[in-house]
Chains A and B, each alone.
Chain A
């Protein structure tokens, strides 16, 4: 169990800059997610921590010690891959015991530890089977057992759930998080699935094109995105160009198209600084549609529903206000709105976030 720090890490593959100047701390025993679109450098960071890739410059610290020159087999890490990578010619028992062999664990202790690891991943008694005799989800549990049985300083997981089907994936993510919490190991988790990241992480690191865009707790990254990229990557957002028209001790007044003046609380505009213009971010699920009359103080605009994407409990609406289309995600109470319905779109100033204009 150790804290991992990346200091000024850069990594180039020839002309491709895969990671640009990353400064990140992975706290002891915490679950940190690297989140970003394909090719943004998540795997590259993970592989550098693992020792499978050497950084072009910068330092990697594990437990306060620089490990740049330590080869992978001496780093004491648990590694879990998307495609499980269980040794096909070894039984499950042998797979899990593999790392113990190199740690001088006695034969009798090995058996007990393997059993314990299988209990943790809730697959007791499969020691004598071969990997090909297990399902994908079971194989991934074994891969996890193999990685944690050696009591690694850091657990590295590269999209471990991506190969599983949707239902299993949601069960597994709850379970994976529970296991991590129970054994308390510093974990670095890579995914491009935002809901996975929000559900599992203590801290999320959002990346884009080799750069760290934002670091924060799930609520923080979700509610207070530091950039337009983050706002759009974590669920759908509506973004409006606004200008600052005034401010007082608790709020900042913004002139927004269609909606008029909005007084946004200062803590929702921390990223704005002293800028005079900015971008107002309103999440799709914070944009509320109604066909009832709204009182004068509410911030609202009139629009027309252009498309409806019915999803059972919720519906995603595409609403035209003036010459712009907005996305709204609402719980369905009673009947969903139909295409062509005239609606009033309401927003709550506390639900908005403000970004500086040029980012």
Chain B
């Protein structure tokens, strides 16, 4: 009994350690005080209003959203096609391609960022939104591939073979059978990609063209001047997006799957 008590205490301490900084941000976002710190003066939404009036932040927010959505689109499309090839077909160099696809997870982001920049320099291309999109997609791709592959392995080949035997051509079979069965993984992969892009900062600092800010780089920039309470409000919004969207999506997925079966 004593041992269990200690373990429980230990677990609670770990959670406190992990989550208290986040709790502090969430709490201070509603602080009425002029300064971004304790003590709390009173409840207020003023920092959220200020946030909504700050054009730089709104711009950064739009950039992040567009970038995140496009990253999700690009990496999910490529990831699904790559997974199909890797799981359903046999060809030479398959192991090599798998390793290359997964490697961005293993390579430190800074190294990846510098590498892509040098490559671009070599091609005599300037930094651009396109580069940012390509870079984010590379970073997100391994997660999409891993999630989609895991699901695809579980979808029996017989489903597709049955569809083919009934007269559906391979493309029809993909859209009628494989894709619907794969959808939860495609969805999860896209969410991962969006979230990864939305809060990436290390690589983004290297790749963004001058003058373009995403939400994390904007916060980073603001922090260099002062710890404005606006940042807490912005942090609150980011947390809601990066935690809330997957939760909602998961809930929806469960709701639909229950309705069907």
Interface residues of A (CB under 8 A from B): 50, 52, 71-79, 81, 83, 85, 87-89, 98-99, 101-103, 130, 132-133, 146-147, 150, 156
B167 CB–A CB distance under 8 Å: yes
Those of B155-182 within 8 Å (CB) of chain A: 156, 158-159, 161-170, 172-173, 176-177, 180-181
Contact sample, A vs B, 12 pairs, CB 8 Å cutoff: A52-B161, A73-B166, A73-B169, A79-B161, A85-B159, A87-B159, A87-B163, A88-B181, A89-B180, A98-B166, A102-B167, A156-B165
| Residues of chain B in range 132-165 having any CB-CB distance to chain A below 8 Å | 156, 158-159, 161-165
Residue in chain A with minimal CB distance to B169:
A73
Quick check: is B248 within 8 A (CB to CB) of the other chain?
A: no
Closest to B158 in A: A85
Point out the residues of chain A lying under 8 angstroms from B156, CB to CB.
Answer: 83, 85
Going nearest first, the 3 A-B pairs with the smallest beta carbon separation are: A99-B166, A102-B167, A85-B158
A130 and B168 in contact (CB under 8 A), knowing A85-B158, A89-B180, A89-B181? no
Q: Interface residues, chain B, CB within 8 Å of chain A?
A: 156, 158-159, 161-170, 172-173, 176-177, 180-181, 260-261
Shortest CB-to-CB span from A50 to chain B, Å, is 6
Cα–Cα distance between A228 and B3 once the two chains are bound (Å): 68
Using CB atoms, name the residue of chain B closest to A98. B166
Complex-state Cα separation, A83 to B157, whole angstroms: 11
Taking CB atoms, residues of chain A closer than 8 Å to B168 are 73, 98, 102
Q: How far is it, in angstroms, between the C-alpha of A73 and the C-alpha of B261 when the chains are bound?
A: 29
Contact B158 A83 (CB under 8 A): yes
- Closest Cβ–Cβ distance, residue A126 to chain B (whole Å): 15
Q: How far is the CA of A9 from the CA of B165 in the complex (A)?
A: 21
User: Is B158's CB under 8 angstroms from A99's CB?
Assistant: no
Task: Name A73's contact: one of B159, B164, B177, B181 (CB within 8 Å).
Answer: B164
Cα(A73)–Cα(B169), bound, Å: 6
For the complex formed, measure the closest distance between the CB of A11 and the CB atoms of chain B, giving whole angstroms: 16
Inter-subunit contact A88/B165 (CB<8 Å): no
- In angstroms, Cα B167 to Cα A71, docked, is 10
Q: When chains A and B are docked, how far (Å) is the Cα of A175 from the Cα of B168?
A: 29
- Complex CA gap A85/B156 in Å reads 8
Which residue in B166, B169, B181 is a CB contact (below 8 Å) of A146? B166
Contact B165 A77 (CB under 8 A): yes
Cα distance, A324 to B47, chains bound together (Å): 97
B37 to chain A, nearest CB (A): 53
Question: In the assembly, what is the distance between CA of A103 and CA of B158, in Å?
Answer: 21
Q: How far apart sit A52 and B165, CA to CA, in the bound complex (Å)? A: 9
**Measured between C-beta atoms, what is the minimum distance from B20 to chain A in Å?**
44
List 13 additional contacts besides A81-B162, A83-B156, A98-B168; criterion CB under 8 Å.
Answer: A73-B167, A75-B165, A76-B167, A79-B162, A87-B163, A88-B159, A102-B172, A130-B260, A130-B261, A146-B162, A146-B166, A147-B165, A150-B166
Of all chain B residues, the one with the shortest Cβ separation from A83 is B158
The distance in angstroms between the C-alpha atoms of A74 and B164, with both chains bound, is: 9
B158: A residues at CB distance < 8 A: 81, 83, 85
Q: Could you say which of B164, B167, B177, B260 has the most chain A C-beta atoms within 10 Å of its C-beta?
A: B167
Contact residues in A for B164 (Cβ distance below 8 Å): 52, 71-73
* Nearest Cβ on chain A to B58's Cβ, whole angstroms: 41
| CA–CA, A101 and B168, complex, Å | 9
Q: Is the CB of B166 within 8 A of A50?
A: no
| Contact between A103 and B162, CB atoms less than 8 A apart | no
